[in-house]
Amino acid sequence: MADSTIYRASTTAPVNIAVVKYWGKRDPKLNLPTNSSLSVTLSQADLRTLTTASCSASYLASEGDSLLLNGEPSDVSGARTQACFRELRTRRAALEAADPSLPKLSTMPLRLVSENNFPTAAGLASSAAGFAAFVRAIANLYELPASPSELSLIARQGSGSACRSLFGGYVAWRMGSAADGSDSMADQVAEAAHWPEMRALILVVSAAKKGVSSTSGMQQTVATSGLFQERIARVVPQNMDAMEKAIKERDFAAFAEVTMRDSNSFHATCADTYPPIFYMNDVSRAAIRAVEAINAAAGRTVAAYTFDAGPNAVIYYLEQDTEAVVGTFYHVLGDMDGWKREVLSGLKPTLSLDESVAGLLKAGVSRIIMTGVGEGPLKTEEYLVAEDGSPAKR
């Protein structure tokens, strides 16, 4: 008689924004990076993926494994997704072999349902949160004793930066040296509680056109940039050391300088790629000028910009400097969606930006996201798969 039990487990996972950037694979198949990287995990109250993993002997084997992402069936046949399924099943199968009393979940089709709480339009790299939630949810379902670092090895194979989303706070991805990637994993440099005042203001910039995907872009850089080797051999190792020190000492000025320099270095190697890759546009550059003006007006470093593979500006600042940083942008971009008005009530702009800078921001920024440093993946009793195994009605 067939066991019709529906096994379910849910987790949320956060987005992370790197302050020392991952750009370049030394092994594209295993997703092994050319350099280590370091990121800040952002609060799931503002940006998170919720994923439910379920399996059952009653699921049709012919359907195989499936993923419903934001209500749309998503292809799981890709090599990276398959690698994650395989790694997780292998570990579950080992538990089942060691303890025959365990249900044979590793043999059952997996049904995953996943949703983001932020607009895909925001163009935020959601693959990090997505693969982190994917791996964490299945690990919960399989009751794997794996640590976050062990799971980061698996998530890394789905999406490199996903390995950093298995931790909260301040997270390093160590590039490692083993050919099989067994030492290329994430660890926590400091938990969110170590430096809880860290905030991030995200200016979502509407790109005229989607740029080169980061997966192909980074390999074009590795192959053609004459400056890239210097970045990975000398610049990034120095930035990693300086950034870990800045975080341990809660030294925002040092954190900010390394963050801005590393973003500049990363985009410089993109511009040095042949043909050149440009992720930032005139609006992004206006955000840089605004941050420079804010720091100059404050007489100290209160804000740091960083840009990923797109035009959005992520601006880190400390909670106590909200007025100097957020107040200035709010003065120019107050009409946009996404402001936490309650936080802003009574904020006075301490500075009015240069007209050309303000004009570019007004014309090019499409929405705001206000968030801050946050926790890692959280187990939840909220399920996106109903008890009968069907996608939960929302």
- Non-local CB neighbours of 365 within 8 Å, separated by 6+ positions: 203, 204, 205, 206, 283, 333, 336
Nearer to its own copies, 211 or 374 (CB): 211
Question: DSSP characters for 55-101?
Answer: E-TTS-GGG-SEEEETTEEE---SHHHHHHHHHHHHHHHHHHHH-TT
Closest CA to 54 of 63, 65, 45, 43: 65
Report in angstroms how near the CB of residue 278 gets to its own copies at its nearest. Answer: 5
- Which C-beta is closer to its own copies: that of 313 or that of 384? 313
- Is residue 259 within 8 A of residue 239, CB to CB? The reply is no
Rg of the chain (C-alpha set): 22
363 CB burial (10 A radius; 0-12, 13-18, 19+): exposed
For residue 228, the minimal CB distance to its own copies (Å) is 9
Footprint of its own copies on this chain (CB under 8 A)? 208-209, 225-227, 229-231, 234-235, 238, 257, 260-261, 264-265, 267-269, 271-276, 278, 281-282, 285, 288, 292, 356
Least distance (Å) between residue 276 CB and its own copies: 5
Report the residue number, 89 or 231, with the smaller CB distance to its own copies: 231
Give the residue with the Cβ less far from its own copies, 188 or 225.
Answer: 225
Closer of 140 and 225 to its own copies (Cβ): 225
Q: Which of 40, 23, 19, 15 is nearest to 306 (CA)?
A: 19
Report the nearest approach of its own copies to the CB of residue 280 (Å): 9
Do residues 218 and 160 make contact, with C-beta atoms less than 8 angstroms apart?
Answer: no
Look at phi and psi of residue 172 and say left if phi exceeds 0, alpha if psi is from -120 to 50, else beta: beta
Shortest separation between residue 343's beta carbon and its own copies, angstroms = 28
Q: Give 96 or 244: the residue with its C-beta nearer to its own copies.
A: 244
DSSP label at 109? P
Instruction: Compare residues 161 and 225 and give the one whose CB is closer to its own copies.
Output: 225
Smallest gap from Cβ 225 to its own copies, in A, equals 8
> Taking the complex as a whole, how short is the minimal distance between the CB of residue 24 and its own copies, in angstroms?
14
Q: How far is the CB of 275 from its own copies (least distance, A)?
A: 6
Q: Are strands 66-69 and 110-116 parallel, antiparallel or unpaired?
A: parallel
User: CB under 8 Å to 7, separation ≥6 — which residues?
Assistant: 54, 55, 56, 103, 105, 108, 141
CA distances from 145 to 94, 127, 158, 180, 193 (A): 11, 24, 20, 22, 25
**Structure tokens given for 302:** 């209160």
**CB of 290 vs its own copies, minimal distance in Å:** 12
283 touches 249 (CB < 8 A) = no
What is the dihedral angle through the alpha carbons of 222, 223, 226, 230, rounded to the nearest 10 degrees? 30
Least Å distance, CB 175 to its own copies, is 18
Tokens of 123: 């163009």
Q: 238 or 320: whose CB is closer to its own copies?
A: 238
Nearer to its own copies, 21 or 91 (CB): 21
Q: Which is nearer to its own copies, 157 or 265 (CB)?
A: 265
